[in-house]
């Protein structure tokens, strides 16, 4: 069933047990993004130590795809440098644009390759990118404040 | 002829196709847009094939035929709505959203002693259940003129709270703009007291009839309202066509909205005066083929009879509400009976997010809509950030409802695995 | 493949019919609206038959397919115009008139430091040869904001008088809005000096390309303009669809125009924020089938090649101008050669009123337009209250020109009887 | 030829030799009407003696139909009472709305029945009514000033 390529076990797992959820009390930048077509909302806090992403926390509501995606993303990017994060973000965006033709680079994306199936569902690509776009925005803001 | 959705479906070519690897198409998203019968598709393409020309302009046979076809569509709409002033009261727009923006911008263009001129201290009244299309244009008009926006709130059951009607529609109210039937809740609002109060304070009543005109008889004369808008694409008609109806004397006083060809009386480099209603409101070469298609759609509906369409939908709504009551963990958003209620049924199922539920339903061939349904303030007021909506129309039958129920049960199993 | 109007005509079903008691249809009114090829009619009806659903909304397969089709049309338009910022720069409207009103109203909604905010002392520049659609919206914007309207005048030969360009486009000018090709005179305006001067004073250049995009290659990047509008129905496309192209950064800064569903980011009862370009400018369920039809029209034109369409029309214009020179008493309104000139040819014949002339031509199967052609100030400036216009397109050939000439001679005889 | 039913000799005759053309210097009311779709313009002066239409004069430009129509109308209505004129106007309007099914009431309309053929040409009905609508307007204005 094609649906199973969308709802990978790791996605539903993160949806039920989200990581890094609950906003930190202090942050270098805080951003809030919404997906206006379905009402999903995410608030993301970022903290940096030099070029290192020391902490990512979030809160929000939305579908399994958007929530699992931000959960997996915060897991993946915490502890990475901003440059590394940019490479991972690029790789994830490319995967989402692949229309199901790419399986994703597991070395770079780790658990996030579970979203490969999402790229076959055009209506859900925005969901999986919501957290990542928030991160992109937060990273720019945090850097510009340094 | 008895009412037969199965026979009706044969008039709609899209039901000949399947979705998701051969599944029957169970289309429960007519609240977003309706499907189109052959006669509508052919009316539109027939216009291009046989009569295409710019209306009201050319001095040739095609232009005459095109004008006839376009003006005949206007007549059909005016009869469908029982417009007291006839076809001069019908303005073609591109969708209901434009119709409502037309009103708000035109009022914003009114000055001085024009009855539509708004100023600080004036009030516009809407409700918490408005579609964005009948909310934001008024917000913006208030911002431009200094008028204040007031609104009816919604009860937990999804009804308009009319208990404080006199303090919502105040003496300063100039416009009362309400949705006739909520696209989320299915609620049909009772108009009598609202119209009486509005007219008592000298306000005009604007009805967003996007979800009522396609589904039940709407008689603007009997309702005693002043303006009404609806969209062709939700009424079996083409995309790219909407309607604004207004009382002739009010349209005559209202300043125009879009400026350009065919809406003028006289033009110099620095100034212009306006044509008569309805030309005044139709600038440029209009959506001619789409108007003709809409005429065919309303003829199709009239032949079946709007009373019959409505009874069918009420019966089907009762059937579906009954079946939904059996689904554990399903929570309705909106009235749970068919009293003053149409066939837009929104709901939540346990903690399955509507977007995920909709995706599963789609995998079973069941097409629904999920999200805030362009009524975000309502979603917040009811504390339901997103929901799933099934919306019924004349081509749906009990088997469609059964398919939906079956798929919901399947979704519970699918997402319950973890 | 050599260019063959006869073969091209076979793609257009309307040429299978006759007019006025069996006469061949000689359609010389494409300046008002063009005829439609099969592929366009079928693209539009195919959308309804196979993929119809509300775009960007539903969570189901039809909605995905509809969205794909609609966004693909946007891509086709962006490539056709060579939009530097790609498909995000394409906004679908209902016609060119709406596109131009969108710009004027959106600018009117700009406030404070927004670059489009206008105030007394600012200037908007148009020309005496504008179609009402590119004149009255700017008149009205001036009236609302206190800005002043300036204009280029037209020489007796029907060219823009650019001799005083620096005093027309003053340092205070914020918008220069001009027709690319006059729908009356056929004149194509030279843009280089105008764009250079406009940009030097910080003004944006708006091109009304209604009569150029259908007839010649138009590359917005090469022209270095800022906004452009055209209508689908004059470009072999459906009625009910228009285009506004704008530079991405400018569209991003421009406030929205129509308010409603799908153009929002966040909404409360009292306030709203906006989606990104282009969604910000497309409120409500859009004219989806018409956008898809326009995509098919532009594909049809691209396959033939806009260079070929243009050369064909220039050659045909030369042929017709030559033939008209032989008609005694015929006076051209507009340039009498093909230098910077398209195939809209207006003229007068002795003292036969254009409306009467048009009527006679119609009786011979020849469809033209008569009157002021929605450019009344131009008619007054040239002291030609009304004229007859023949406008050529890719499906016309020399036999159509011959038929026109023959019918004009006939009209002279018919009305000369008395 | 169908065209001949439009271009009756009497119409073309009035077009070439318009009656009552040239505006009177004094008037009870003056109105100006345009046909915006083709640019035709008519200015009409009316003078009354009691209920009698003592003088109708006009100026303007336009096609043969609009010019001949106002010429014939001024001929016909001069010397009539306002009530008689209203009956004639009604009869002419009915004729224009008849889509070619009526020949017109010659006793009431006299020369104006020449316009019967116009009713078959929807694009020209406005032309033939231009002067009559101006008259209707002028009569109302002149009466309201009494
Ligand atoms: C030069 C020009 N501008 C604007 C328009 C308006 O186009 P539309 O009526 O399709 O909005 C036209 C055509 O009518 C035109 O020829
Ligand atoms: C109640 C209501 N109002 C307004 C609209 C807007 O209609 P459209 O998008 O066709 O302009 C809709 C549908 O989307 C609706 O359901």
Quick: pLDDT tens for B308-358.
Answer: 999 999 999 999 999 999 999 999 999 999 999 999 999 999 999 999 999
Residue D83 class from Cβ within 10 Å (0-12 exposed, 13-18 middle, 19+ buried)? exposed
Does pLDDT of D38 surpass 90? Answer: no
B289 and B369 housed in the same domain: no
Measuring CA to CA, which residue among D64, D74, D72 is closest to residue D16? D64
Does pLDDT of B53 surpass 70? Answer: yes
Hey, are the CB atoms on A36 and C67 less than 8 Å from each other?
Answer: no
Does pLDDT of C58 surpass 70? Answer: no
Q: Would an 8 Å CB–CB cutoff place C265 in contact with chain A?
A: yes
For residue range A3-31, list pLDDT tens digits in order. 999 999 999 999 999 999 999 999 999 99
Mean model confidence pLDDT for chain C: 97
Give the Cα separation of B179 and C308 in Å (integer): 52
Give the Cα separation of B339 and B334 in Å (integer): 11
Q: How confident is the model at residue C2 (pLDDT cuts 50, 70, 90)?
A: confident
C24 and C71 housed in the same domain: no
Residue owning the nearest CA to atom 7 of ligand 2: B96
Q: C9-13, C105-109, C274-278, D121-125: which range is least confident on average?
A: D121-125
Name the H helices within C95-217: 96-109, 136-145, 165-168, 192-200
Residue C1 class from Cβ within 10 Å (0-12 exposed, 13-18 middle, 19+ buried)? exposed
Mean pLDDT of D19-33: 96
The CA dihedral of D119, D123, D124, D130, to the nearest 10 degrees, is: 110
C15 and C73 housed in the same domain: no
Does pLDDT of B197 surpass 80? Answer: yes
Last residue of a domain, one of C272, C303, C334: C303
Does pLDDT of C354 surpass 80? Answer: yes
B162 and B225 housed in the same domain: yes
B239 and B317 housed in the same domain: no
Q: Which CATH number belongs to the domain containing residue C351 in this structure? A: 3.90.1150.10
For residue range C300-351, list pLDDT tens digits in order. 999 999 999 999 999 999 999 999 999 999 999 999 999 999 999 999 999 9
Is omega for the bond preceding A13 within 30 degrees of 0, making it cis?
A: no
Give the Cα separation of A136 and A138 in Å (integer): 6
Name the H helices within chain D: 3-6, 9-16, 64-77, 82-96, 106-109, 122-144
Q: Looking at CA atoms only, how far is residue C269 from chain B in angstroms?
A: 6
Does pLDDT of B368 surpass 80? Answer: yes
Contacts of B328 (CB under 8 A, 6+ apart): none
Q: Indicate whether C36 belongs to any domain.
A: no
Q: How confident is the model at residue D1 (pLDDT cuts 50, 70, 90)?
A: low
Number of Cβ atoms within 10 Å of the Cβ of D89 = 18
Q: How confident is the model at residue C412 (pLDDT cuts 50, 70, 90)?
A: very high
Sign of CA dihedral B256, B262, B264, B265: negative
The share of chain C scoring above pLDDT 70, in percent, equals: 99
C254 and C321 housed in the same domain: no
How far, in Å, from the CA of C229 to the mean position of ligand 1?
A: 9
Helices (runs of H) and strands (runs of E) counted in chain A: 6, 3
Q: Indicate whether C74 belongs to any domain.
A: yes
Q: Would an 8 Å CB–CB cutoff place B346 in contact with chain A?
A: no
C314 and C280 housed in the same domain: no
Does pLDDT of B2 surpass 70? Answer: yes
Q: Would an 8 Å CB–CB cutoff place C83 in contact with chain D?
A: no
Mean pLDDT of D37-46: 89
* Pair of tokens at residue B418: 């973890």
Bridge partners (DSSP) of residue C91 are: C244
Last residue of a domain, one of B280, B303, B326: B303
Q: Which CATH number belongs to the domain containing residue C150 in this structure? A: 3.40.640.10
Q: Indicate whether B36 belongs to any domain.
A: no
Q: How confident is the model at residue C418 (pLDDT cuts 50, 70, 90)?
A: low
Q: Indicate whether B272 belongs to any domain.
A: yes
Structural element, H or E, at residue B354: helix B354-363
Give the Cα separation of C126 and C147 in Å (integer): 13
Q: Which pLDDT score, from 0 to 100, does residue B79 have?
A: 98
Q: What's the ipTM?
A: 0.95
- B374 tagged catalytic: yes
Give the Cα separation of D77 and D56 in Å (integer): 8
- Enumerate residues lining ligand 1, CB below 6 A: B 260-261, 284-285; C 95-97, 131, 133-134, 179, 183, 208, 210-211, 231, 233, 374
Structural domain boundaries enclosing C321 = 5-30+305-415
Does pLDDT of B373 surpass 80? Answer: yes
* Mutation site, C346, C350, C356, C388, interface D, largest D CB count within 10 A: C356
- Enumerate residues lining ligand 2, CB below 6 A: B 95-97, 131, 133-134, 179, 183, 208, 210-211, 231, 233, 374; C 260-261, 284-285
Q: Looking at CA atoms only, how far is residue B354 from chain A in angstroms?
A: 7
C245 and C392 housed in the same domain: no
B18 and B98 housed in the same domain: no
Last residue of a domain, one of C303, C326, C344: C303
Among C60, C94, C271, select the one facing B94 at the smallest CB separation: C94
Q: Indicate whether C190 belongs to any domain.
A: yes
Q: What is the pTM of this model?
A: 0.97
What atom in ligand 2 is closest to the CA of residue B133? 4
How far, in Å, from the CA of C95 to the mean position of ligand 1?
A: 8
| Residues of chain D found within 8 Å of residue B68, distances taken between Cβ atoms | 122
Q: Indicate whether C35 belongs to any domain.
A: no
CATH topology of domain D3-144: Sufe protein. Chain: A (3.90.1010)
Hey, are the CB atoms on B376 and C98 less than 8 Å from each other?
Answer: no
Evaluate whether C245 touches C277 at the Cβ level (below 8 Å): no
Averages of pLDDT over each 10 residues, chain A, 146 residues:
88 95 96 86 96 97 95 97 97 94 93 94 92 96 87
Contacts of C287 (CB under 8 A, 6+ apart): B94, B95, B239, B240, B287, B290, C92, C94, C240, C241
Mean model confidence pLDDT for chain B: 97
Structural domain total, chain C? 2
Bridge partners (DSSP) of residue C26 are: C366
Give the Cα separation of C241 and B211 in Å (integer): 24
* Pair of tokens at residue C396: 């016309």
Does pLDDT of C406 surpass 80? Answer: yes
Give the Cα separation of A30 and A141 in Å (integer): 8
- Ligand closest to Cα of C57 equals 2
Q: B124-133, B203-212, C266-275, D33-42: which range is least confident on average?
A: D33-42
What atom in ligand 1 is closest to the CA of residue C96? 11
Mean pLDDT of C153-180: 97
- Measured in whole angstroms, how far is the alpha carbon of residue C295 from the centre of its chain? 16
B294 and B321 housed in the same domain: no
- Interface present between A and D (3 or more CB pairs within 8 Å): no
Does pLDDT of C57 surpass 80? Answer: no
| Residues of chain A found within 8 Å of residue C262, distances taken between Cβ atoms | 37
- Measured in whole angstroms, how far is the alpha carbon of residue B90 from the centre of its chain? 15
Q: Which pLDDT score, from 0 to 100, does residue C177 have?
A: 98
B223 and B244 housed in the same domain: yes
Measuring CA to CA, which residue among B171, B104, B88 is closest to residue B137? B104
User: In chain A, which residue's Cα lies nearest the Cα of C62?
Assistant: A123
- D26: helix, strand or coil: coil
Mean pLDDT of C259-285: 96
Does pLDDT of C1 surpass 60? Answer: no
C256 and C163 housed in the same domain: yes
Q: How confident is the model at residue B252 (pLDDT cuts 50, 70, 90)?
A: very high
For residue range B199-230, list pLDDT tens digits in order. 999 999 999 999 999 999 999 999 999 999 99
Q: Which pLDDT score, from 0 to 100, does residue C138 have?
A: 98
The share of chain B scoring above pLDDT 90, in percent, equals: 98
Q: Which pLDDT score, from 0 to 100, does residue D37 have?
A: 75
Q: Which pLDDT score, from 0 to 100, does residue C417 have?
A: 76
Q: B193-207, B391-405, C58-72: which range is least confident on average?
A: C58-72
């Amino acid at each position: 069933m094609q649906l199973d390529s969308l709802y990978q076990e790791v996605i539903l797992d993160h949806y039920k047990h989200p990581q890094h959820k609950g906003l930190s009390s202090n942050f270098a930048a805080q951003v809030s993004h919404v997906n206006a077509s379905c009402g999903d909302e995410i608030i993301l806090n970022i903290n940096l130590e030099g070029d290192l992403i020391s902490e990512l926390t979030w809160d929000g509501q939305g579908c399994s795809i958007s929530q699992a995606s931000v959960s997996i993303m915060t897991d993946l990017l915490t502890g990475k440098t901003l440059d590394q994060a940019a490479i991972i973000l690029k790789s994830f965006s490319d995967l989402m644009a692949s229309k199901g033709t790419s399986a994703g680079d597991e070395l770079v994306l780790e658990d996030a390759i579970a979203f490969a199936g999402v790229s076959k569902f055009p209506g859900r690509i925005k969901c999986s990118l919501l957290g990542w776009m928030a991160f992109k925005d937060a990273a720019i803001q945090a850097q510009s404040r340094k | 002829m008895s009412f037969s959705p199965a026979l009706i479906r044969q008039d709609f070519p899209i039901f000949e196709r399947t979705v998701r690897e051969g599944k029957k198409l169970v289309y429960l998203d007519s609240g977003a847009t309706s499907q189109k019968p052959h006669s509508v598709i052919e009316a539109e393409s027939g216009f291009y094939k046989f009569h295409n020309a710019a209306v009201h302009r050319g001095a040739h046979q095609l232009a005459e035929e095109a004008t006839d076809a376009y003006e005949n569509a206007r007549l059909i709409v005016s009869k469908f709505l029982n417009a007291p002033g006839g076809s001069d009261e019908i303005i073609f727009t591109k969708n209901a959203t434009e119709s409502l923006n037309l009103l708000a911008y035109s009022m914003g263009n009114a000055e001085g002693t024009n009855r539509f001129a708004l100023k600080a201290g004036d009030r516009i009244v809407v409700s918490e259940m408005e579609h964005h299309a009948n909310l934001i244009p008024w917000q913006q008009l208030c911002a431009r003129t200094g008028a204040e926006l007031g609104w009816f709130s919604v009860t937990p059951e999804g009804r308009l709270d009319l208990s404080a009607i006199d303090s919502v529609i105040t003496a300063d109210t100039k416009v009362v703009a309400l949705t006739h039937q909520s696209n989320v809740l299915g609620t049909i609002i009772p108009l009598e007291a609202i119209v009486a109060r509005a007219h008592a304070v000298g306000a005009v009543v604007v009805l967003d009839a996007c979800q009522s005109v396609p589904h039940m008889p709407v008689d603007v004369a009997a309702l005693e309202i002043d303006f009404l808008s609806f969209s062709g694409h939700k009424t079996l008609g083409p995309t790219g066509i909407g309607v604004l109806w207004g009382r002739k004397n009010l349209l005559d006083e209202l300043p125009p909205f879009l400026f350009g060809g065919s809406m003028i009386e006289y033009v110099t480099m620095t100034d212009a005066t306006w044509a008569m209603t309805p030309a005044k409101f139709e600038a440029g070469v209009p959506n001619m083929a789409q108007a003709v298609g809409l005429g065919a759609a309303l003829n199709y509906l009239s032949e079946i009879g709007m009373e019959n369409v409505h009874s069918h939908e009420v019966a089907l709504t009762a059937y579906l509400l009954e079946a939904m009551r059996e689904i554990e963990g399903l929570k309705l958003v909106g009235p749970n009976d068919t009293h003053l209620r149409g066939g837009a049924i929104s709901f939540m199922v346990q903690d399955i997010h509507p977007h995920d539920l909709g995706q599963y339903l789609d995998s079973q061939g069941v097409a629904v809509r999920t999200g805030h349904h362009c009524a975000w303030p309502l979603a917040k007021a009811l504390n339901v950030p997103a929901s799933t909506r099934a919306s019924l129309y004349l081509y749906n039958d009990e088997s469609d409802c059964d398919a939906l129920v079956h798929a919901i049960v399947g979704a519970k199993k699918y997402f319950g695995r973890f």
